[in-house]
A and B are shown apart, each in its own frame.
Chain A
Amino acid sequence: MPSPDETRVALPRYRAAAPGTHPPLASAGYRSTALRAPGRPLRVLPQGLTEVTGPLLGDDRVGEGDHDLTRGHDGEPLGERIVVHGRVVEEDGRPVRDTLVEVWQANAAGRYRHAADRHPAPLDPNFTGLGRCLTDGDGRYELVTIKPGAYPWGNHPNAWRPAHIHFSLFGRAFTQRLVTQMYFPGDPLFGQDPIFGSVRDPAARERLVSRLDLKRTVPDWALAYEWDIVLRGRAATPPDADEDGRAG
């Protein structure tokens, strides 16, 4: 066994999110939170080895072509073909390399290939709606897909979700785990969507919105959107443990 002093040094420490960045768990406008959001305040879990390490899922989870959601079927899916690309970085800008990016989305008609999706819009036999890739040495990822459609849901009368792609990220530590959604610029449905609107800080909310990237469009073939994903960064220096043994 290592001595306690061996483990007291050199553990990275991850900074807390600025207030207003992550949505409050209880968000009255989003009805499903009512019976699912914990009612008691969260307790602080001091960051230890379990929290500053995390799963490093790599090549074994990504097959050739998994980054291209328009492939793998008999034909091409209907819809507006797009490239979605960007970088996964920490708050200080350092790239998150070789990290698994998982995505899922509705088809161009706004329908998911899922038994629980009752929206009476057509399924597309040429679109499943899931993709995966690993970031490169500079934290870059790139996906090819079709632009998902908006769709109605039961949250409130005539509720519609703005078009979005779901993203799942691990980073390199349990503290960095992030599941989120990417939106498209200028969507007129933002104002009535309680999920997008659950992010209280307007600047943070805008970070969920991709930007049209004309430079990366493929002429005569596909539009491109750029979206960078920022995971929690490390504090500059690990704090000393105080006399209570809790990291400061």
Chain B
Amino acid sequence: MSPGLTPSQTVGPFFAIALPWPEGPHAVPPGSAGAIRLAGRLLDGAGDPVPDGMIESWQADPEGRFAHPDDPRGAAGSFRGFARCATDADGRWGLVTLKPGRVPGPDGALQAPHVDLSVFARGLLDRVVTRICFADEPEANAADPVLAALPDDAARATLLATPVDGGYELDVHLQGPHETVFFSV
């Protein structure tokens, strides 16, 4: 007899007393070899910043491997692969990490480099999941099955982070004309 899944509830407005920590946004220490900054804003359907949201990331290392026993290729290295950041008063979030390598997809074909994001906020009764891909990987992106399954370039563009000095930027729009593509997993 299956015990039944526990439902999700909103993270609410007060998670900041417990969830963020100083090194949380750093999947690698800032200044590490190869470190990049992934940053952007979290915006609501009116285009206003979400000042009480939280972003979490999960990704492969630069070789496309995971420090996890369920990676059938064997658990790799010590890269944490995870970062967590609360948004600030302007809705801004920022993570320090390494650019991921390409990871085989469910059919074995290589996916474009990507970072999975979970977004939490007051007003979100469940996390929403999206993906960051990298605008300067046009060949890998063109061959990526997840990007290819989206209806058009406008939808794909919501997942493509733009190169900037020291890293990449991408705004996450929860709603509205520029709404980010969100996924069920």
A42 CB to nearest B CB, Å: 4
The secondary structure that dominates the B interface is loop
Chain A residues with CB under 8 Å of B126's CB are 22-23, 25
- B residues in contact with A113, CB < 8 Å: 17
Contacts of B25 in A (CB 8 A): none
Expressed in whole angstroms, the Cα–Cα distance for A204 and B126 within the complex equals 14
Across the interface, which residues of A come within 8 angstroms of B67, CB to CB? 56
CA distance A241 to B125 in the complex (A): 32
Bound-state CA distance A185–B14 (Å) is: 23
How far apart are B49's CB and chain A's nearest CB, in angstroms? 12
Residues in B whose Cβ lies below 8 Å from that of A230: 3-6
A-B contact pairs, 20 of them (CB 8 A): A21-B4, A22-B7, A34-B123, A39-B175, A40-B179, A43-B149, A45-B131, A48-B106, A49-B60, A50-B114, A61-B21, A102-B19, A114-B13, A114-B16, A168-B19, A174-B118, A174-B185, A179-B9, A179-B127, A231-B5
> B32 on the interface (CB 8 Å rule)?
no
Q: Which residues 94-115 of B have a CB within 8 angstroms of A?
A: 103-109, 111, 114
Contact of B73 among A6, A89, A104, A232 (CB under 8 A): A6
Q: Is A78 an interface residue (CB 8 A)?
A: no
Q: Is the CB–CB distance between B66 and A43 below 8 Å?
A: no
Query: Most chain-B CB neighbours within 10 Å: which of A4, A24, A45, A177?
Result: A45
Complex contacts, A204 vs chain B, CB 8 Å? 4-5, 7
**Residues on A facing B (Cβ under 8 Å):** 2, 4-12, 14, 16-18, 21-25, 27, 30, 32-40, 42-57, 61, 89, 91-93, 102-104, 106, 112-114, 116-117, 128-132, 166, 168, 172-175, 177-181, 195-196, 198-199, 203-205, 207-208, 228-233, 241, 245-247
